[in-house]
Amino acid sequence: MKAFRLTIGLIFLVPVFLVLGILALIVGNLLSLIRLRRASEVSVHFIFDILIWWIFICLGVRYHVYGKENIPRWGSRVCYVANHQSALDIPAIFGTGAWCGIVAKKELFRIPFLHSLLKLLRCISLDRSSLRAGLQSILAGVERIKSGYPMGIFPEGTRSRTGEIAEMKAGAFKMATKAKALLVPIVIKNTRTAFEAIDSLKRVNVYVQILPPIDTSIMSEDELKNVHSVVEKMIRDTYSALPEPYAHR
């Protein structure tokens, strides 16, 4: 079942992915070259919106988003944090309009074409085997947030193999607290069922809920030390309230 569904989906997905990916690279890099940075970002996001829509169609996803009003205005100091279930989590976040550079595992940057797309989206490579390299990635994210470009991170460190939310690492939240950013929790549910754990030909309901921002710039030292626990509880509670893959809210 899984192999059949993925094969059919990828047959329709891959050619469009390549065409739109190449178009995004050409348009984005050309506009950046002539120093039209914001025009480059808007154009790339528009192209990727089309791609994300096509990804969900090909994979049989019915996509639901709640809380879009909680997305801060572009140019604010923003750090998105989300639970991690699947390779579909990044498209699920971007599909809400919460565009950001993602701190992603370094293995993704070794794939030539994907490497170029991640760089275009201003993602940052994370070496999970090295504490020093991991810290450098976090600090690079801090600088991007301070410059007004939102960043995003998955505090669990890796995607869930069971669908359950793992413990969120306090260090991942340093990107938000050191930048004195708005910390925006994002809750993602059922992307694992839609991709890694497909067990049916039915369409899968994927839910993404954006929670209200937390302003770390006005928090006390004690609040900052405990913010990862607070956010983890918020994400767990919201995750539990969201429907299962084949149910509607």
Which residues contact residue 56 at a Cβ distance below 8 angstroms, ignoring those fewer than 6 apart?
A: 62, 63, 91, 95, 206
- Whether this model's pTM surpasses 0.75: yes
The average pLDDT across 84-89 equals: 93
The average pLDDT across 120-128 equals: 90
In this prediction, residue 96 has a pLDDT band, given cuts at 50, 70 and 90, of very high
Q: What is the pLDDT of residue 7?
A: 76
Q: What is the pLDDT of residue 249?
A: 60
The average pLDDT across 124-129 equals: 86
The model's pLDDT over 60-76, given as tens digits with 9 standing for 90+, comes to 999 999 999 999 999 99
Average pLDDT, the chain: 92
The average pLDDT across 97-123 equals: 93
In this prediction, residue 78 has a pLDDT band, given cuts at 50, 70 and 90, of very high
The model's pLDDT over 44-60, given as tens digits with 9 standing for 90+, comes to 999 999 999 999 999 99
Whether 129 has a pLDDT exceeding 80, the answer reads no
Q: What is the pLDDT of residue 238?
A: 97
Which residues contact residue 32 at a Cβ distance below 8 angstroms, ignoring those fewer than 6 apart?
A: 40
Q: Which residues pair with 214 in a beta bridge?
A: 183
Q: What is the pLDDT of residue 2?
A: 65
- Is 14 within 8 Å of 55 (Cβ atoms)? no
What gap in Å lies between CA 247 and CA 26, rounded to an integer? 40
- Is 92 within 8 Å of 191 (Cβ atoms)? yes
Neighbouring C-beta atoms of residue 192, cutoff 10 Å: 24
